[in-house]
Structures are given as structure tokens and as C-alpha cells.
């Protein structure tokens, strides 16, 4: 009953004209960015972050969330039409979406992906409304020791499970934690690593780190990728609406995909890409149409889209109830809330229930808006793909420059963004993922504060982290996860080497 009361209250909040407007702006911008290959939702969220400083916290959160799941809708458009994933998590959609487009069924594929995204989003929303209050209730008894352990688990999960080397991922998280110490130490008031630069006294701005690593860094990568991208010359829509048989074929896969997606979305570290990959793999095993998978099965488009969209909604569960983001985008959500003085955690549901339920209800509204944007207005986005990238990226660079400069009207911020942009490109070159660094950067100050408090309470005895039951379990879980991910990475490498040897 509580949930229904909360949700209907949230609906009132989300339907306020202001929130409705920002929800609309968010999902439109998200779709726009999602359609463009090469730049993901991270860059988009980083770009609107300065704007959210001036909004009400609820409007800000609704808009950021809109960009986040809007990008999932948009990402599938480029996947289906051009075989280039607009966002990393829609890469699975290419497998069946692009063959469908080649067979002249692009319209059906786009329709199926929009409907599946909507279905997945709704499943994710319900899971969030039911699960988040339970988790928050559980976390209310957490002290600093438990918090430190939860943050540690979240950081390790987010870095070790991500694609690429787990050791490099953890190294990036630690580097992010270190980056977070720059500025004035809130406990003692001493300056740390500011090198006497007054602009660094308040620490490095989250917007600059995100805009540099993701905006500028990704843009440098995308120039070459888009210049040589295989553009399809003609897209033919013989038919847009699925047949009755196709509707029926999609229904169960959407439910399964949404279920799998909401599970992986809520786990820290896995996120949409893992969710859609697992959902597709499961569906390929159990679907009656499995023989057609990879050759343009409508189920193969519906499943990953339902999964990645439900995962985008449930990713907010650990972020808002524990304050532990599972991905870099969620770290930005935490950063945006903290700028408004709201600390995500179990108290958030009680102290800011407007914000929480408003967000949940905005998922419903945003997904309906996206359905409108993606079904009747699909032609608009297809036309967007026709704009050559050579006009696009210089414009985006200017928007980044103006955005960063306008935070403080300070040129220093532009220089710092340049430094992070170059660093972001070099990190990709040396196969370091920038996402864990951002997560570490956001959680670093929180982690340090909890560590200091826990040590003070235990009178300097570090063994409390293991002897207190909840934190002990969490620490053991962290170690197990770390060992398991390193072992499985080693095994994958050995298998690859073996495959290469047998190929020679």
C-alpha cells in the first residue's frame, strides 16, 4: 500500500510542468546523444551537469535520468540502421537488428526496439519501487564501518567486473580515490596537493573530470571511427508495424529480458552491457526461434533492448539507497545530488521522499515520451544520422568549452578539461578504462570520511572491519569477487592464447 501511495504522490511531483519539461528535455537530449555513435550518455550527462546546478534537485535528477535512459533508446537506432552501436550497451542489438535492416525490416526492428525498451523500462521501474525501500530499511542500521565496507565492495565490483583487465580497473579506482583528495581536507582544513593553485582549493570539479575524460577523450577517439564508419546508403521501410505473430513472439522475451536486466542493473558493476549480453545469451538457449538468432530475429532485438533499459532504471537502486553507484553515470548522479546538499543513502527515501518517488514516476512519463519520440518521430532521428560527423564534432567541442567555462567563468577550468581530455585519450590507448576512475573520484571523499570515523570509533583498531558481522561479510565478498575476477580474466587470456596458437 505504501508503494502505491508513494507512487501516486510521485506522479503528482513528476507531472508538475517544470519537471515534465526537464524530463522531456532530458529524454530528447539522451536520444540525440544516443543516436550519435561514439559519444555515450556519460558525455551528455557531463554536459548538462552545470545546467542542473540551477535547477531544483528533483528536476535535476529527473533530467539526468532522462538523458541516461533516453540514450538507451537512441543507441539502438544506430545499431539497427548502421551496425554501429550508438551506446556500448546497444552493441548486442546489432546482432539481430542490422540483419533485419538489411532484409528491409528496419522499421519493424526500430518499432520492436522501442516497444521492448518501454516494456523493460516499466519492469525496471516496478522493481525499483518495490526493492529500494526494502534495501533502504536494511541499510538504516549501517554505521561508518559498514559504510566503508559497502563502498569498498561497490568500488571493487565496479572496476573488477568491467570489461578489460581487472587489475587495471582497480588501479583506476585507486587513482580516482587519490584524485578525490586534492583540495582542502574537510576534517583538518589543510590543503592537499593543490600546488598553490587557488582554483584547486575546492578540489577538482566533477564536471571537469567527467567532461575531460568522457567528452573530450571520447571525441578524439570518435573522429577516426566515424570517418571510416560504414554508412549504409539507403534505408528502406517496407513495413513499420510488426505483424500479430511478431507481437506475440516479442511478448515473453521482453518479460524475460526485463527481468534479467533489472537484476544485473541493480548489482553494482554489471550494468546495461552485461545485462543485455546475458539476456541475449539466455534467450538464445531457450527461445523457440533460437535458430533464427543472428539472422534477423525480432526476439533478438527485443531481448537486449528490454534488458538494457530495465537495467538503466534499477541502477538507481544501489545509487540512491546506499550511495554506491554501479557505473560512472550513476557516480555523476551522486555528484549532482551532493552539489544540492543531498547525500544519497538510506535516509534519502525518508528525508527526500518527493525526490525518490518523483524520480520513479518520471520513469513512467519519460518512457511514454520516448515511445512518442521513437515511434511517430523516428524519421527525425534517422535524418540526424545523415548529418555528417565532420559538422557535428567541432560543434560539440565548442559546447564543451562554453559549458566548462561557464561553471565559474574561469579559463583555468578549460585548461584543466584539456588535461583530463588528453589523459582520457591516453588511458584508452593504454587500455585503462576511465569509468572506474570517475567512480573512485566521486566516492573517495565519502570513503575517507567513513574510514576516519570508523577508526575513531574503534579506537584505532582496524580489525572491526572484519569482526562486525555485516562489514565482515561485505569485506569477504569483496575479496572473493576480486580473486574470482582476476582468475577468470587469466583464464580468458590463456584460452585466447591457446586459440591463437592453434590458429597458427
DSSP run (H or E) holding 184: strand 183-184
Calpha distance 296→307 (Å, rounded): 18
Which is closer to other proteins, CB of 371 or CB of 455?
A: 455
Nearest to 63 by CA among 85, 38, 41: 41
| Minimum distance of other proteins from residue 100's CB (angstroms) | 16
| Minimum distance of other proteins from residue 181's CB (angstroms) | 5
Range 215-244, binding other proteins (CB under 8 A): 216, 219-221, 223-224, 227, 231-237, 240
Contact 329, 42 (CB under 8 A): yes
Which is closer to other proteins, CB of 97 or CB of 107?
A: 107
Nearest to 373 by CA among 151, 66, 16, 145: 66
| Minimum distance of other proteins from residue 54's CB (angstroms) | 11
DSSP-derived 3-state class of residue 192:
strand
From the list 14-22, 38-46, 368-376, 460-468, the region that binds other proteins by CB under 8 A is 460-468
Calpha distance 346→340 (Å, rounded): 17
List of residues 6+ apart from 24 with CB closer than 8 A: 66, 369
Query: What letter does residue 215 receive in the DSSP assignment?
Result: I
Which is closer to other proteins, CB of 201 or CB of 248?
A: 201
- What does the block give as the cell for 383? 535524418
| Helix ranges (DSSP H) in 36-160 | 41-52, 57-82, 91-102, 106-139, 144-160
Calpha distance 157→481 (Å, rounded): 7
Calpha distance 307→450 (Å, rounded): 34
Which is closer to other proteins, CB of 281 or CB of 402?
A: 402
List of residues 6+ apart from 107 with CB closer than 8 A: 237, 238, 239, 240, 241
- Does 468 bind other proteins (CB under 8 A)? Our answer is no
Q: 9 burial class (0-12, 13-18, 19+ CB within 10 angstroms)?
A: middle
Binding other proteins (rule: CB under 8 A), the pick from 244, 285, 459, 501 is 459
DSSP string, 468-495: SHHHHHHHHHHHHHHHHHHHHHHHHHHH
The values of phi and psi at residue 184, to 5°, are -80, 130
Contact 465, 472 (CB under 8 A): yes
Calpha distance 155→173 (Å, rounded): 7
Calpha distance 442→319 (Å, rounded): 12
Range 69-98, binding other proteins (CB under 8 A): 81
Nearest to 153 by CA among 503, 483, 481: 481
| Minimum distance of other proteins from residue 421's CB (angstroms) | 7
Range 42-71, binding other proteins (CB under 8 A): none
| Minimum distance of other proteins from residue 170's CB (angstroms) | 6
Which is closer to other proteins, CB of 73 or CB of 393?
A: 393
Range 161-180, binding other proteins (CB under 8 A): 165, 167-168, 170-171, 174-175, 177-178
From the list 147-155, 183-191, 281-289, 355-363, the region that binds other proteins by CB under 8 A is 183-191
- Does 192 bind other proteins (CB under 8 A)? Our answer is yes
Contact 222, 38 (CB under 8 A): yes
Range 375-434, binding other proteins (CB under 8 A): 379, 382-383, 385-386, 388-391, 393-395, 397-398, 400-402, 405-406, 409, 411, 414-415, 417-418, 421-422, 425-432
| Minimum distance of other proteins from residue 156's CB (angstroms) | 12
Calpha distance 55→389 (Å, rounded): 32
Binding other proteins (rule: CB under 8 A), the pick from 18, 185, 202, 351 is 185
Which is closer to other proteins, CB of 295 or CB of 488?
A: 488
Which is closer to other proteins, CB of 235 or CB of 375?
A: 235
Which is closer to other proteins, CB of 397 or CB of 473?
A: 397
Binding other proteins (rule: CB under 8 A), the pick from 1, 190, 499, 503 is 190
Which is closer to other proteins, CB of 457 or CB of 476?
A: 457
Range 315-374, binding other proteins (CB under 8 A): none
Range 97-116, binding other proteins (CB under 8 A): 107
- Does 479 bind other proteins (CB under 8 A)? Our answer is no
| Minimum distance of other proteins from residue 189's CB (angstroms) | 9
Which is closer to other proteins, CB of 103 or CB of 232?
A: 232
| Minimum distance of other proteins from residue 131's CB (angstroms) | 32
> Total binding residues for other proteins by CB under 8 A?
78
Contact 168, 431 (CB under 8 A): yes
Binding other proteins (rule: CB under 8 A), the pick from 17, 198, 288, 460 is 460
| Minimum distance of other proteins from residue 229's CB (angstroms) | 9
Query: What letter does residue 213 receive in the DSSP assignment?
Result: I
Amino acid at each position: 500500500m505504501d508503494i502505491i501511495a508513494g507512487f501516486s504522490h510521485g506522479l503528482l511531483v513528476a507531472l508538475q510542468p517544470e519537471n515534465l519539461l526537464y524530463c522531456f528535455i532530458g529524454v530528447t537530449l539522451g536520444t540525440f546523444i544516443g543516436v550519435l555513435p561514439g559519444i555515450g550518455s556519460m558525455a551528455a550527462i557531463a554536459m548538462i551537469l552545470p545546467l542542473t546546478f540551477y535547477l531544483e534537485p528533483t528536476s535535476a535528477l529527473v533530467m539526468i535520468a532522462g538523458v541516461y535512459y533516453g540514450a538507451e533508446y537512441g543507441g539502438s537506432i544506430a545499431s539497427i540502421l548502421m551496425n554501429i552501436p550508438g551506446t556500448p550497451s546497444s552493441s548486442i542489438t546489432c546482432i539481430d537488428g542490422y540483419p533485419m535492416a538489411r532484409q528491409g525490416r528496419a522499421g519493424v526492428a526500430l518499432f520492436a526496439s522501442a516497444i521492448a525498451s518501454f516494456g523493460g523500462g516499466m519492469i525496471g521501474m516496478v522493481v525499483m519501487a518495490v526493492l529500494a525501500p526494502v534495501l533502504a530499511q536494511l541499510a538504516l542500521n549501517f554505521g561508518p564501518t559498514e559504510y566503508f565496507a559497502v563502498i569498498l565492495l561497490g568500488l571493487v565490483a565496479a572496476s573488477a567486473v568491467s570489461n578489460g583487465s581487472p587489475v587495471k580497473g582497480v588501479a583506476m579506482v585507486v587513482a580516482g580515490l587519490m584524485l578525490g583528495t586534492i583540495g582542502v581536507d574537510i576534517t583538518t582544513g589543510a590543503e592537499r596537493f593543490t600546488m598553490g593553485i587557488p582554483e584547486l582549493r575546492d578540489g577538482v570539479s566533477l564536471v571537469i573530470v567527467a567532461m575531460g575524460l568522457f567528452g573530450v577523450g571520447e571525441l578524439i577517439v570518435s573522429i577516426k571511427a566515424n570517418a571510416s564508419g560504414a554508412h549504409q546508403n539507403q534505408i528502406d521501410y517496407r513495413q513499420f508495424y510488426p505483424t500479430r505473430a511478431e507481437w506475440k513472439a516479442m511478448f515473453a522475451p521482453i518479460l524475460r529480458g526485463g527481468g534479467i536486466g533489472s537484476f544485473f542493473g541493480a548489482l553494482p558493476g554489471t550494468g546495461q552491457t552485461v545485462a543485455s549480453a546475458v539476456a541475449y545469451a539466455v534467450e538464445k538457449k531457450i527461445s523457440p526461434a533460437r535458430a533464427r538468432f543472428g539472422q534477423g530475429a525480432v526476439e533478438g532485438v527485443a531481448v537486449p533492448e528490454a534488458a538494457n533499459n530495465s537495467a538503466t532504471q534499477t541502477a538507481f537502486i544501489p545509487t540512491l539507497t546506499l550511495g554506491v553507484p554501479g557505473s560512472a553515470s550513476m557516480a555523476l548522479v551522486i555528484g549532482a545530488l551532493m552539489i544540492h546538499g543531498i547525500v544519497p543513502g538510506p535516509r534519502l527515501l525518508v528525508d527526500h521522499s518527493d525526490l525518490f518517488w518523483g524520480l520513479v514516476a518520471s520513469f513512467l512519463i519519460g518512457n511514454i515520451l520516448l515511445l512518442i519520440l521513437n515511434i511517430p518521430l523516428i524519421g527525425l532521428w534517422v535524418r540526424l544520422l545523415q548529418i555528417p560527423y565532420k559538422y557535428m564534432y567541432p560543434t560539440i567541442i565548442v559546447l564543451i568549452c562554453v559549458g566548462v567555462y561557464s561553471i565559474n567563468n574561469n579559463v583555468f577550468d578549460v585548461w584543466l578539461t584539456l588535461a583530463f581530455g588528453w589523459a582520457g585519450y591516453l588511458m584508452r590507448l593504454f587500455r585503462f578504462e576511465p569509468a572506474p576512475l570517475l567512480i573512485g573520484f566521486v566516492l573517495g571523499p565519502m570513503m575517507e570520511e567513513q574510514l576516519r570515523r570508523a577508526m575513531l570509533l574503534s579506537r584505532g583498531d582496524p580489525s572491526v572491519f572484519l569482526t562486525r558481522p555485516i562489514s565482515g561479510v561485505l569485506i569477504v565478498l569483496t575479496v572473493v569477487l576480486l580473486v574470482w575476477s582476476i582468475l577468470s580474466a587469466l583464464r580468458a587470456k590463456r584460452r585466447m592464447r591457446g586459440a591463437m596458437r592453434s590458429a597458427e
